[in-house]
Amino acid sequence: MTVFQLLMLGASAFFAFKIYEHIQTLQEPQDSENQNHDNQESQEESRSANAFSTFSPEALVQKADTAFEEEDFVRALALLNEADAKEPNNSEILFKIAYILQKSGDNEEAIKYYKQALELDKENEYIHNSMASIYRINGEYTSAKIHLKASLDIDSENPITYYNYGNLLVDMQSYEEAATMYEKAIELNPDFVEARDELEKLDNEK
Surface-to-core class of residue 18, CB atoms within 10 Å of its CB (0-12 exposed, 13-18 middle, 19+ buried): middle
For residue range 63-97, list pLDDT tens digits in order.
999 999 999 999 999 999 999 999 999 999 999 99
Q: Give the residue from 91, 147, 96 showing the smallest Cα distance to 120.
A: 91
pLDDT at position 1 is: 40
Q: Which domains does the chain have, with CATH numbers?
A: 1-24+58-121 (1.25.40.10), 122-206 (1.25.40.10)
pLDDT at position 140 is: 97
pLDDT at position 76 is: 96
For residue range 35-58, list pLDDT tens digits in order.
444 444 433 433 344 446 789 999
pTM over 0.85: no
For residue range 162-201, list pLDDT tens digits in order.
999 999 999 999 999 999 999 999 999 999 999 999 999 9
Q: What is the mean pLDDT of residues 9-29?
A: 35
Separation CA 88–CA 146 (nearest Å): 27
124 sits in the region (left: phi over 0; alpha: psi -120 to 50; else beta) called beta
Separation CA 174–CA 172 (nearest Å): 5
